[in-house]
Amino acid sequence: MRVLICGGGVIGVAIAYYLSLRGAEAVVIERTGIANAASGKSGGFLALDWCDGSRLSELARRSFALHADLAGVVPDGGYRRLTTFGGFGGAGGRKTVTWISDRIAIERKLGSTATTAQIDPAGFTRGLMRAAEAHGATLRRGAVTGLIRDRDRDRVTGAIVDGERLEGDAVVIAMGPWSILAAAWLPLPAVYGLKGHSVVYRTGDAVPPEALFLEVGEPGGGVASPEVFPRPDGTTYVCAISSDSPLPVDPAEVAPDPGAIDRLTAIAARISPVLAGAPRIAAQACFRPVTEDGLPLIGAAPGLRGAFVATGHSVWGMLNAPATGEAMAGLILDGHSREVDLAPFDPGRLGPFDAARFRTE
C-alpha cells in the first residue's frame, strides 16, 4: 500500500515511521524541509501524566512509553529523563534549583525522572525520518496544492505536488496549522496556528537536567510564563510570548514578532545569571496547531475513502507524535487502532470549516 503523507513535521514523520515498519510504502511530502516548523523549534518536553483527567490521557501515556523505546531507534534524538520544577518571580521559596537567580522562587516539584523527559525536537524528528527511510519510506520535497479524486468523487486517489499528480492508495493531511489549506479540498474542521517564540543558549555543563515552568514579571510590566529546558547537547531552550499574529501561507516566512525576542531575552536574563551570560545561538518563532475544542484531529476525513488527517496537537505534539503515528498506521492498514481509542479525536466531531472564509492573500 502506498500512502502519501502531506507534511514533514513530527506527526507526518511518525506516521511514516510506523507505516514503514509494517511494510507499507510511505511518501512524506514536505514543502520546506523536515522539522523546519514547530517540530524543530518546540520545547521537546514530555510528561507521562500531565494529560491525565483529559481525553488525551491514553494517547499521552502510550506516547511517553514509545518515546523511551524510540531513544534506541533515534540516537540523535536527545532523549533523557529530567526533573521538573514550578516557580515564580519573587524572593523566598526552596533553593532546590541552584543555577537560577535569587529573584526566582521555586514553589514545587512538578515531575520526577519517572514522569518527565525530553527530546531534541529537530534531532528527534529528522532522526525518525531517517529511521523511516531505512524501512523504505521516501521524502518528496514540494508543496501540496490539492488532492486527486476518483470519477465518483467519493475516494481520494492522490495529491497534486507542485503541479504534478502523485498517485496513492491513501493520503494523510499532517501539515500542522497549514492543514487549514486542506479544508478547501476535504470536509475538515478548522485548524488554527498559535504563535510562540523561543531562544536557545549555549550553556555548556552549567545547567543540570532540571526543567522549569515559571511565572515571571516582565521588565516592562505584565507577567510571562517561560518554560526552560536544558538539553543534553549543552544548550538551554527558553520559550514564552504567544501571539495571535496571522499564519503565513509559506512556512518559510514564519519570523518572530517585532520586539518579541528582546522581551524573551530579558526574561531569560532575569531567570538565571547563566542565561544572562551565555551566547544565544537561536532566536525563532513557530505556530502550534490548535482546534476548536483543544483536541487533535486524528482519523478519516468524513464521508470520503482514502483521506485521513492527523493534526491539531497544540502544546503536546512532540509528546503525542509516536502514539499518533502508531494509531494512524493501524487505522490506515487495518481499519482501526489497537493501541489507542481514536474516537475522541474523530475529525467528524466538529463541523467542516467553510473554505469560502479562507483568504490566502
CB 317 within 8 A of CB 286: no
- Judged by CB under 6 A, the residue of 3, 4, 5, 12 near ligand FAD is 12
- The reply on whether position 7 binds ligand FAD by CB under 6 A is yes
- Judged by CB under 6 A, the residue of 5, 8, 272, 331 near ligand FAD is 8
Q: Which residues neighbour 262 within 8 Å (Cβ) at sequence distance 6 or greater? A: none
- Judged by CB under 6 A, the residue of 4, 26, 36, 268 near ligand FAD is 36
- The reply on whether position 268 binds ligand FAD by CB under 6 A is no
- The reply on whether position 201 binds ligand FAD by CB under 6 A is no
Report which of 258, 327, 270, 334 is spatially closest to residue 296, judged by C-alpha positions: 327
- The owner of cell 511518525 is 14
Strands 235-243 and 227-230: antiparallel
- The reply on whether position 9 binds ligand FAD by CB under 6 A is yes
CB 157 within 8 A of CB 148: yes
CB 198 within 8 A of CB 280: no
Q: Which is nearer to ligand FAD, 231 or 313 (CB)?
A: 313
Q: How far apart are CA 353 and CA 184, in angstroms?
A: 9
CB 204 within 8 A of CB 279: no
Residue closest to ligand FAD (Cβ): 317
Determine the interface stretch with ligand FAD among 69-77, 200-208, 275-283, 286-294 (rule: CB under 6 A).
Answer: 286-294
- The owner of cell 470549516 is 353
- The reply on whether position 210 binds ligand FAD by CB under 6 A is no
- Judged by CB under 6 A, the residue of 77, 170, 288, 330 near ligand FAD is 288
CB 208 within 8 A of CB 99: yes
Determine the interface stretch with ligand FAD among 169-177, 263-271, 273-281, 336-344 (rule: CB under 6 A).
Answer: 169-177
- The reply on whether position 316 binds ligand FAD by CB under 6 A is yes
How deeply is 53 buried, as exposed, middle or buried, from its count of CB atoms within 10 A (0-12, 13-18, 19+)? Answer: exposed
Number of residues that bind ligand FAD (CB under 6 A): 41
- The reply on whether position 198 binds ligand FAD by CB under 6 A is yes
- Judged by CB under 6 A, the residue of 4, 144, 148, 297 near ligand FAD is 144
- The reply on whether position 251 binds ligand FAD by CB under 6 A is yes
241: left (phi over 0), alpha (psi -120 to 50) or beta: left
Segment (H or E) for 82: none
- Residues facing residue 164 across a β-bridge: 161
Determine the interface stretch with ligand FAD among 97-105, 165-173, 174-182, 326-334 (rule: CB under 6 A).
Answer: 174-182
* Binding stretches for ligand FAD (CB under 6 A): 6-12, 29-32, 36-39, 42-45, 143-144, 174-176, 178, 181, 196, 198, 239, 251, 286, 288-289, 311, 313-319
